[in-house]
Structure 1
């Protein structure tokens, strides 16, 4: 269940769920607001030290949110809506699994559940008009496997490795005009694996290049 948005300067945006991982920028924003609150006389310096310690060690939005609940003008800690303005594409592995390969149109936002059968996503021949693609992963029992072109960049820092672990074997270095694939969520028991194409896949791509 999603929590209500923090009071802030950006009404109408949608909050992350409490269990999702916070970023360094989120922790820094909370720490800055706490320092401002102390300077304004809203909290004393002993309480500031206590809250700062909690903020800088927080892992999730649920840990950060209470630190600002009684302060006006708090940073929003929000997830921006998908750039296309529509609903995210949701894929569920279910009992038998799901595979998305070949040429397919990738939206700006996907929600992927591994389920019992797993999910395999191959982005090597896809079409997309977005510079950044957000994938919310839920590894569940069978996990999620993702193949991305070598020209793309992957940011998997928002994924909780859970029991199955997170393995990102992609080559760093984003080419100009290539998308950024940003992953958030929970790897679950099945784990999340991200890699570039292997030798067989590269051979197939040379024979049948991806769409321009």
Structure 2
């Protein structure tokens, strides 16, 4: 399985990076020559790792247009979140102790069609915001429960939340249902 920085870049990812570069030029953080050089590299880039290098010195880590960090997410006595354009690894460890962890998957890149989230929740919570067509199931003590209410296809990607918890909860936020036209 390829690492997050080895995944192929999309045109949408390139445009997101191009906007950051243009804003940096408008702010005076990049000269015209630097902008042209980075744009040339941008449109020749093949992987997400190539793209991420172009903005590393322009924005703080939490504001980067691409997040390739697959490290565990921990909220201990605080709220922690991961969202925007980020690569969700095939297996992700999440901890919430007296805190809340929020994962926004609406604009995320799933590294695998089946993602496993190992959640340790102690008086804490895990909130997962999902796009349409993504199924979320919870596995706890040999019991499996479907957390998404909207129907998904048989080949839909699945997020499996494996929980070991003590008074913790998992919530899933889905997009609003579309009203059927008559």
TM-score, normalised via structure 2 length: 0.51
Q: Secondary structure at the match of 1:93?
A: strand
- TM-superposition CA deviations, 1:136-168 (whole Å, max 9, x none): 111211211111122112222x125xxxxx882
Consecutive unaligned residues in structure 1, runs of 5 or more = 1-82, 161-165, 203-212
TM-superposed deviation, 1:198: 4.4
Which entry has the higher C-alpha Rg, 1 or 2?
A: 1
Aligned length: 112
CA contact (8 A) 2:97 2:122 kept: yes
Higher strand share: 2
Shift of the 132–196 alpha-carbon distance from structure 1 to 2, 3 Å rule, reads: same
Cα distance in structure 2, aligned partners of 1:105 and 1:151: 18
- Give the equivalent residue in structure 2 for 1:131: 113
- Give the equivalent residue in structure 1 for 2:162: 184
Cα distance in structure 1, aligned partners of 2:72 and 2:120: 11
Cα distance in structure 2, aligned partners of 1:98 and 1:196: 20
Q: Secondary structure at the match of 2:128?
A: strand
Alignment of 1:36-185 (within 5 A): 89-156=71-138, 158-160=139-141, 168-174=147-153, 176=155, 178-185=156-163
CA contact (8 A) 1:168 1:195 kept: no
CA contact (8 A) 1:152 1:175 kept: no
Structure 1 stretches of at least 4 aligned residues deviating more than 4 Å after TM superposition: 83-86
Cα distance in structure 1, aligned partners of 2:148 and 2:132: 11
TM-score, normalised via structure 1 length: 0.45
Cα distance in structure 2, aligned partners of 1:134 and 1:96: 23
Consecutive unaligned residues in structure 2, runs of 5 or more = 5-69
Please report the RMSD computed on the Cα atoms of aligned residues, expressed in angstroms.
3.1
Shift of the 139–167 alpha-carbon distance from structure 1 to 2, 3 Å rule, reads: farther
CA contact (8 A) 1:97 1:116 kept: no
Cα distance in structure 2, aligned partners of 1:174 and 1:89: 30
TM-superposed deviation, 1:93: 0.6
- TM-superposition CA deviations, 1:173-211 (whole Å, max 9, x none): 1374x4211111224313111231348xx9xxxxxxxxx
